[in-house]
Amino acid sequence: MFKKQTLKNGIRLITAPLKETQTASLLVLFKVGSRQEAKRIEGVSHFIEHMMFKGTKRRPTTLDLSKELDGIGAEYNAFTGKDVTGYYIKTDSRHLSLAIDMLSDMLGDSLFSAEELEKEKGVIVEEINMYEDNPLMYVEEMLEEMLFDGGELGHMIAGSRETVRSLDRKKILEYKNNYYSGANVVIGLAGKFNQTQLKELRTKFVFSKGRKSKIKKSTIKQVAPRVNLKHKETEQVQVALGFPAFSHHDKRSYALQLMSVILGGNMSSRLFINVREKKGLAYFVRAWPNLYEDAGAMVIQAGLDKARIEEAIVTILGELNSMKAGVTGEELKRAKDFIAGKMALDLEDSMSIAQWYANLELSDKKLMTPQEKLKKLMAVTSGDVKKVANDIFDLKRSNLAVIGPFKDGKRFKKLLK
């Protein structure tokens, strides 16, 4: 069972002890990401994440940080999203005190040296190059940039080469000090730990309370289909098709999650069977909901045969239309059993438990156990799924991102009418 407490500096701490494990997972989330960034400093949230690994006063270099954690076999990393930045360490519970000391040191006392900052600009520019050279990854960014056109959720997480190169130490620290405050922090701790380690955690994470970050609510005003085409000489075409959905606070999100499983969530889904197995049009095809606290999208992604691209897209659209006609009771039951099984497997891991509760708290959702969420999923009916499909799959609100050896986007736009 989990426990929530709020520290004096505003940090929300969620703890979830697990009896049958020897590991402990410590996750620190900040309510800040690319959507908080002004145009001129796009990429700064991601840049700050990188700089946290470049040394502190007590551990002046990257090597000083990494060799301590490598020395105990810990798993550690960080990530930046549209609305969150996270840092984590998973370790043998005997070394949890080191993990607490390490993360509190990095997040509270990193040097942000001018020399390291300039070097890291080159690293991040190469990371941007890597993403753009990988169509499988980049097509998702293209889709969200188009789908949330003009809104904060359309910002590229890594920024652009120009904005990254223009960042200076003063801008970075001003931004960090504004958002890295107690009111924006959620800490999740799951696994095996004791009261002494809990006391260390409450004592060592020192932030000013600050103010909770706010977002500008995203609105998608779309009345016609859109296509974002990037010409690239590839053998396989990468396609991402997206439709505006709703926030993760919306009660329909449970039906949407089940619909996405039936449509393209596993190897027995409609898209996998009909696009890949029956017609051989794709190596991979999948569908998933991408929901934020104020908006969201339903996404279908596939790697397609360039010689049969129109046939593949028409087949995918046909499956979306079929979803609007409804799903069978058997399909719905299989989807529910699939999610229940995945949750059971995932939540054997202490890090998954830490993420579960910390993400709920950060997004201001009511804290619930996995079992409570499963109960809500099990209550979804076939009619609920059909209604969600009809609410979402409107071709007038479709967005298609394509990376492949094509120069004319009109050929794809015709398919969306």
In the chain, the amino acid numbered 325 is A
Nearest to 275 by CA among 237, 317, 234, 243: 317
Instruction: Find residue 197's DSSP bridge partners.
Output: none
In the chain, the amino acid numbered 231 is H
Pairing of strands 399-404, 226-231: parallel
Nearest to 147 by CA among 397, 390, 415: 397
Identify whether 118 is a catalytic site residue. no
Rg (the chain; Cα; Å): 22
What H or E segment, with its residue span, contains residue 176? helix 169-179
Selecting among 42, 49, 331, 361, the annotated active-site residue is 49
Go through 200-218 and write b for each residue having 16 or more CB atoms within 10 A of its CB, e for each that does not.
Answer: bbbebbebeebeebebeeb
* Integer Cα distance of 58 and 110 in angstroms: 9
- Residue pointed to by tokens 């995203």: 218
Backbone torsions φ then ψ of 58, nearest 5 degrees: -85, -25
- Give the three-state DSSP class for 110: strand
Q: How far is CA 291 from CA 40, 161, 251, 311, 341, in A?
A: 26, 27, 12, 29, 22
Tokens encoding 171 = 């801008």
Mind telling me the catalytic residues? Answer: 49
